[in-house]
């Protein structure tokens, strides 16, 4: 369970903060859509939830862990252990192969990749219908790249998956496939799922929807 209280972040010392969330609770196993027009603060919300961005005031509790009071190294480690992050435009490493991309975060974390993680990587790629393990990332289609990014996000069996506009750069068919896989893998791994999105089809598949406007919660509803 993640609890945000009086969270504010102001990037430019503007009069109004970029993000201003008095209270938000995100339960275990929730499927949350975060919507709102471009610039409303969706990516910023994802970034503060996973400790990529610091808040100026307030608190972010992950169960009993006060994320806001960890130092950057601790935050990075916490994120590596608990969050599967799927960023906009994939953030994959060109020049590396498919499997190398999926295993790269684990390689940075462990001296030797544990067998369970190597096996999970192969399982995930199989489930995501990617069979060309050694193929260079640059030569994959956008749909395939997104599926590799999903495999990488899940390889550590995170408690929560956060995907920033996972269908925005895909065509309808690939978007649909990515979403179906994301949702079924989140259920299989018993992970919560947060997706920022404008995609009505994706929103309809989530259990809860939060709308942001100028960094504030304007609407929250069960679906």
Q: At what angle do helices 142-154 and 98-109 cross, to 10 degrees?
A: 30
User: Contacts with ligand ADP: how many residues (CB under 6 A)?
Assistant: 11
Q: Is the dihedral of CA 185, 195, 155, 77 positive or negative?
A: negative
In the complex, least distance from residue 197 CB atom to ligand ADP, rounded to whole angstroms: 10
Stretch that binds Mg ion, among 43-51, 106-114, 125-133, 202-210 (CB under 5 A): 43-51
Residues of this chain, 20-49, that bind ligand ADP according to CB under 6 A: 36, 38-44
In the complex, least distance from residue 47 CB atom to ligand ADP, rounded to whole angstroms: 7
Give the three-class secondary structure for 91.
coil
Q: Is 43 in the site for Mg ion (CB under 5 A)?
A: yes
* Whole-number Å distance between alpha carbons of 20 and 9: 7
φ, ψ of residue 221 to 5 degrees: the values are: -150, 150
Rg (C-alpha) for the chain, rounded Å, is 17
Q: Which is nearer to ligand ADP, 48 or 155 (CB)?
A: 48
Stretch that binds ligand ADP, among 10-18, 55-63, 67-75, 135-143 (CB under 6 A): 10-18
φ, ψ of residue 34 to 5 degrees: the values are: -115, 120
Q: Which of 2, 4, 7, 18 binds ligand ADP (CB under 6 A)?
A: 18
Q: Which is nearer to ligand ADP, 42 or 120 (CB)?
A: 42
In the chain, what's the furthest Cα-to-Cα distance? 52
In the complex, least distance from residue 43 CB atom to Mg ion, rounded to whole angstroms: 3
List residues binding Mg ion (CB under 5 A): 42-43
């Amino acid at each position: 369970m993640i609890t945000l209280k009086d969270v504010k972040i102001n990037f430019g010392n503007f009069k109004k903060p970029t993000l201003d969330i008095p209270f938000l609770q995100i339960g275990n196993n929730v499927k949350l859509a975060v919507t709102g027009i471009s610039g409303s603060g969706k990516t910023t919300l994802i970034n503060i939830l996973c400790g990529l961005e610091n808040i100026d005031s307030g608190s972010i509790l992950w169960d009993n862990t006060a994320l806001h009071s960890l130092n950057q190294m601790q935050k990075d480690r916490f994120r590596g252990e608990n969050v599967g992050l799927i960023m906009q435009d994939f953030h994959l490493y060109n020049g590396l192969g498919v499997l190398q991309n999926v295993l790269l975060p684990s390689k940075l974390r462990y001296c030797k990749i544990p067998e369970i993680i190597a096996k999970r990587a192969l399982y995930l790629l199989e489930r995501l219908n990617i069979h060309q393990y050694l193929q260079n990332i640059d030569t994959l289609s956008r749909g395939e790249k997104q599926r590799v990014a999903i495999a990488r996000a899940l390889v550590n069996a995170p408690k929560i998956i956060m995907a920033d506009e996972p269908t925005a750069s895909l065509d309808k068919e690939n978007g649909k496939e990515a979403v179906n896989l994301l949702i079924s893998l989140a259920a299989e791994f018993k992970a919560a799922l947060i997706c920022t999105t404008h995609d009505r089809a994706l929103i309809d598949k989530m259990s809860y929807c939060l709308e942001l406007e100028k960094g504030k919660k304007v609407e929250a509803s069960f679906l």
